[in-house]
Chain A
Amino acid sequence: MWSLFTSHASDFLTGFGWTILSSVIALIGATILGLGFALLQIVPNRAANIAGKIYIEIVRNIPLLVITMFFYVVVAKVFHLNGFVSGTIGLTLYSSAFIAETIRAGINSVDTGQYEGARSNGLTWWEAMRYVVLPQAIKLVIPPLGNQFVNLIKNSSILAFVAGMDLMYQANMISQTTFDTFGPYIIVAIFYLMLTMPLSYYMRYLENKLEN
């Protein structure tokens, strides 16, 4: 196993790098989009609520693979997107729907009295959100949001389907040149765990702290 790693170290590390890069871009993008769609669902405007709801329901109910392949083979005909970009866009959009739901649930769980109090003190809807509701929601939202980030990192393996250079893709390539179907996958499993395990455990720690 070790010799397999050392003989293909640069491939594994390259894959690790692309996996991290894709995850970080998708994480930032999906959080911004997710926050946007969460707010869209709760602003006092019926049309905006419906638009937000439609986006989330559609994206949530369609497999990530279908969304990613759509960008890789259909959208790419118009705008040139390579595998890495298509995969990262797919990952961002897909994750954004789940993050939006997580944030919305957090906002809803803030006591409505707080919001009403803020409004009756003359704050606008946006100010009430910005200064009263969101700061409290963030605390509640961090652990479930962290779990969504873990899902996002795991889901970045979708890049393997579109030659996105990531860990999973490298494992496929190495296993096909060495005819070893275990070693490469065990090694990439360790790489994935290095990213996801600490994050999961930290989120569980925060969750427990919040409960007590």
Chain B
Amino acid sequence: MPSKMKKRILGLALGSLMIGGLTLGLASPTVQAKSKEEPKNQTYYQIKKTHKMQWGVKGDTKLMGLMDIKTGKLQGFDIDMAKEITKRVDPKAKPVFTQITSGTRIPMLLNGNIDAIIATMSITPEREEVVDFSKPYFKAGQAILVKKDSKIKSIKDLNHSNMKILAVQGSNSLQNAKKYAPKAKGSALQDYATALTALQSGQGDALTTDSSILYGMAVDNKDTKVVGGNFTDDPYGVAMAKNDPKLRHAINHAIDDIKADGTYDRLAKKWFSDVPGMSWKEVAE
């Protein structure tokens, strides 16, 4: 075989391999539309088969889901709930935790990176269009956190064009706050860690999100305080992919059981009894 020919053939073989690899990342958007018709209850059977339940949880939210620097493990009310739910969905299963942000959690669930989300996620009509929710497991509402020396007393005080409200991406808290303070500007940051640091650095006048999260921040950051009480009522639920009624049923059943056998009260007391301004008896929805 002439060498020029060989050169072409080898080049072609190698090349097509590489192009395949390289285009994978870019071309796949076109593939997504096809694989919509998935069989029912896929995640549920997957959990039963592998004995692993993959949870998307928060890692930057004190009390609910926080990375413990000492142990490198995640801990909080949501994490404990996930452990208890897992036990009741499949007694042999182990929970696996993946840290997510408000911005990445829904795509990760839809893409199948995780089986369920328990991450301070409010049940909203918009979200219910793309994911399924369990029954509510936690009473939550939105409030604002300000610096201790701030003159702001409630969300209404933020309704000026020179005010800036901080929030995180992927949560609906900025839109909610804008309903009460339409003139204020908004900045959405990657995660609560950055948002809190931004508030302390004077990048905004108030940080808005669920009060359970804000109380956790205020415990550790004495230079901040929660003001004005809750201005919305958005209970948290466990989110999972649509088309999985068996999983939803199992999770709902688990939540009922956790509440009935006293586990819920034990966890609520463990996490919220020492938090100023919060009553652990009132978190159940």
Q: List 25 A-B contacts (CB under 8 A).
A: A72-B198, A72-B201, A73-B194, A73-B197, A73-B198, A73-B201, A76-B201, A76-B203, A77-B201, A80-B202, A161-B190, A161-B194, A163-B187, A163-B189, A172-B188, A173-B169, A173-B188, A175-B107, A176-B103, A176-B169, A179-B106, A179-B107, A179-B110, A179-B130, A181-B110
Identity of the chain A residue whose Cβ is nearest the Cβ of B197 in the assembled complex: A73
Against A, the Cβ 8 Å flags (1 = close, 0 = not) of B210-225 are 0000000000000000
A182 at the interface (CB under 8 A from B): yes
Instruction: For A161, list chain B residues within 8 Å (CB).
Output: 190, 194
Q: Which residues of B contact A (CB under 8 A)?
A: 29, 32, 102-103, 106-107, 110-111, 130, 169-170, 187-190, 194, 197-198, 200-203
| Measured CA separation A74–B187 after assembly (Å) | 18
Against B, the Cβ 8 Å flags (1 = close, 0 = not) of A48-86 are 000000000000000000000000111011001011000
Instruction: For A162, list chain B residues within 8 Å (CB).
Output: 189
Q: Name the interface residues of A91-105: CB closer than 8 Å to any CB of B.
A: none
A9 at the interface (CB under 8 A from B): no
Instruction: For A197, list chain B residues within 8 Å (CB).
Output: none
Instruction: For A175, list chain B residues within 8 Å (CB).
Output: 107
Given A73-B197, A172-B103, A179-B106, are A83 and B187 neighbors across the interface (CB < 8 Å)?
yes
Beyond A73-B197, A176-B106, A181-B110, 16 extra complex contacts between A and B, CB < 8 Å? A72-B203, A73-B194, A74-B201, A76-B202, A76-B203, A77-B200, A77-B202, A80-B202, A162-B189, A172-B169, A172-B188, A176-B102, A179-B107, A181-B107, A181-B111, A182-B32
Identity of the chain B residue whose Cβ is nearest the Cβ of A80 in the assembled complex: B202
A186 at the interface (CB under 8 A from B): yes
Identity of the chain A residue whose Cβ is nearest the Cβ of B130 in the assembled complex: A179
Identity of the chain A residue whose Cβ is nearest the Cβ of B167 in the assembled complex: A163
